[in-house]
Structure 1
Amino acid sequence: MTVLTDNLVVDGVRLAYRDQGQGMPVVFIHGTPSHAYEWRDVVPHIEADGFRTVTYDLLGYGRSERPVDRDTSVAAQTELLVHLLDALDIDRADIVAHDIGGAIGLRFAVAHPERVRRLLIIDSVSYDSWPSPTWRRIIDEHLDDFTSMSQEAFDDLLTRQLTMTVADASLMTGDVLRAYLAPHRSALGRVSFFEHQVRHYDAKYTEEISDALGRLTVPVRILWGEKDQWQPLHYGRRLRDTIPDADLVTVPDAGHFLMEDTPERVVEEIRNFLALP
């Protein structure tokens, strides 16, 4: 799969995206530190099942624009999702979302329930779960001086973090690791990573919708890796207990990036969820 194929200007900014297939739209929203690459082993199977799949890089991520003066927080990304769906003439869609993408999906479902048919969230940030302790330490130590960080030091830092995302560390090596590092292999990439991603690791965006989760009416499935080192499983259980009729599926021997540890299981769960009456 060519992960992203086109560009689209929405609300004055450029997003890299891919829109393929026919049928009910399924929108995939990636997390951080990541980009649409994380869906490469998932999306083709859902598309082959007869769905229209939309995959894109969040603003400030991957191949999308990295604006100098533009909010790229979870709240702003949620509003941008509205503009993206409007531009693609999508009135209602299924949403599959990971990590901060899960927060975007939840915020979107709270604000625009009429536009969501189903929502599947994977190891999502929620409540006060983020930033994780290791990311909090990085914020405290590097957020004010990241411009002086060398490429080697940055690569070492991000590699250590990415290795924590999988239960099997051997999966985050070689070409896969290089693909996750690729958007940041420049001075602009390093600055963008801290300004567009890390600076917005803030639980206020999930805590402010916590009370509204109990009023959600869209079907929600929660998929979680039992060995997630960033988002402990008890947050998945809390979401299940809060969101009406939500179900929680836990995946053994899998970490935060389920799509790397067990892509086949992710495809299976998405298929099962989309097939429900």
Structure 2
Amino acid sequence: MVSFAENPIMSSCVKPLVQSKEPPVVLLHGFDSSCLEWRYGYPLLEESGFETWAVDILGWGFSDLENLPPCDVVSKRNHFYQFWKSYIRRPMILVGPSLGSAVAIDFAVNYPEAVEKLILIDASVYAEGTGNLATLPRSVAYAGVYLLKSLPLRLYANYLTFTNMPLHTILDGTNVGRLHCLLPWWDDATVDFMTSGGYKIASLIRKVKQKTLIIWGENDRIVSNKLAVQLHCELPDAVLRQIPDCGHIPHLERPDSAIKLIVEFIQTEKKKLSKLVSQVSQVS
């Protein structure tokens, strides 16, 4: 339960089985998705010994929004901050895939004390919000949202998302990916986000202070990997790793490869810190 408005919000997440003194790994998800996006990657992170959380962003996923709060960018940020302050309470390694990268950058710049490191996966961070969708009459927006949750559109989106995946796997991903769309408040929450203007965070990228890992599927047909190079150049302290024969969601399509890169990044940075502390102690 998270309280940041007049009424507490029953917020959905996957809580960790493993408790650790190390910074926890906190997994966000992409646009109109849910924590189920991490159904393959989450167990691998726990098996690697990390305290791992998967959190549904306000307005998406499975949180109980019967008393619907605003679902614009500021509300999403505030809700996640209250969640962090209530349950995590220490600097985290924040992982954002696709539009979740925009959520992660927006949060890290506004609450730098809450984020130790960033991991961005096939980051959708250069779009100018929801564009013309923000100016649609609400009746037209609701019609668009109805189309957004339709099985044919979701199936086609999954076809574009993955590389050389069998049809039964794409169909399974489609069914899982649209489960949260069946909740009674999903339409209202999605229209509220669309008409609010969405995320416009390109100007924040150079303000990110955290060490960042960028992961990209080389065959991404949703967000070009040319933007991976641009993002790498603009972030002050970042490394870029690409996964061959992989599309837009590596943690679903190539979970072993994606999680290996995440684990190596965290462990390498930890070793560097330990070595630095040891050198300082020797000097003292």
CA deviation vs aligned residue, 1:33-75 (integer Å, no higher than 9, x gap): 3111111111112122222111121122221123565232334
**Quick one: which of 179, 202, 206 aligns to 2:201?**
206
Q: Is the 8 A contact 1:125 1:231 kept in 2?
A: yes
Task: Show the counterpart of 1:41.
Answer: 40
Name the CA shift for 1:75/1:102 in 2 (closer, same or farther; >3 Å).
Answer: farther
Name the CA shift for 1:142/1:67 in 2 (closer, same or farther; >3 Å).
Answer: same
The 5 Å alignment of 1:11-160 reads: 11=4, 12-20=8-16, 21-23=18-20, 24=22, 25-66=24-65, 69-128=68-127, 144=140, 146-147=142-143, 154-160=150-156
Worse-matched range after superposition: 230-239 or 191-200: 191-200
What residue ranges of structure 2 are gaps of 5+ in the alignment?
Answer: 273-284
Q: Is the 8 A contact 1:78 1:105 kept in 2?
A: no
Aligned-partner Cα distance in 1 for 2:129–2:158: 16
Aligned-partner Cα distance in 2 for 1:175–1:141: 34
Name the CA shift for 1:240/1:269 in 2 (closer, same or farther; >3 Å).
Answer: same
Bigger strand fraction: 1
Equivalent AA in structure 2 for residue 154 of structure 1: S
C-alpha deviation, 1:265, in angstroms: 0.8
Name the CA shift for 1:67/1:128 in 2 (closer, same or farther; >3 Å).
Answer: same
C-alpha deviation, 1:122, in angstroms: 0.5
Aligned-partner Cα distance in 2 for 1:40–1:241: 31
Question: Cα RMSD over matched residues?
Answer: 3.0
TM-score, normalization by structure 2: 0.80
C-alpha deviation, 1:216, in angstroms: 2.6
**Quick one: which of 250, 257, 272 aligns to 1:265?**
257
Correspondence 1:242 to 2:199: no
Q: Is the 8 A contact 1:228 1:255 kept in 2?
A: yes
C-alpha deviation, 1:201, in angstroms: 6.5
Q: Percent identity?
A: 22
Aligned-partner Cα distance in 2 for 1:270–1:41: 14
**Quick one: which of 209, 214, 223 aligns to 1:217?**
209
Q: Is the 8 A contact 2:208 2:235 kept in 1?
A: yes
- 1:270 partner SS: helix
Worse-matched range after superposition: 123-132 or 163-172: 123-132
Task: Show the counterpart of 2:281.
Answer: none
**Quick one: which of 162, 178, 181 aligns to 2:175?**
178
Q: Is the 8 A contact 2:145 2:190 kept in 1?
A: no
Aligned-partner Cα distance in 2 for 1:150–1:117: 39
- 1:271 partner SS: helix
Q: Is the 8 A contact 1:125 1:206 kept in 2?
A: no
- 1:43 partner SS: helix
C-alpha deviation, 1:168, in angstroms: 2.6
- 1:38 partner SS: helix
- 1:58 partner SS: coil
What residue ranges of structure 1 are gaps of 5+ in the alignment?
Answer: 1-7
Q: Is the 8 A contact 2:212 2:238 kept in 1?
A: yes
Aligned-partner Cα distance in 1 for 2:181–2:63: 13
Task: Show the counterpart of 2:224.
Answer: 232
Q: Is the 8 A contact 2:41 2:259 kept in 1?
A: yes
Q: Is the 8 A contact 1:109 1:115 kept in 2?
A: yes
Task: Show the counterpart of 1:10.
Answer: 3
Name the CA shift for 1:193/1:182 in 2 (closer, same or farther; >3 Å).
Answer: farther
Name the CA shift for 1:237/1:143 in 2 (closer, same or farther; >3 Å).
Answer: farther
Q: Is the 8 A contact 1:129 1:235 kept in 2?
A: no
Aligned-partner Cα distance in 1 for 2:84–2:34: 19
Q: Is the 8 A contact 1:74 1:100 kept in 2?
A: no
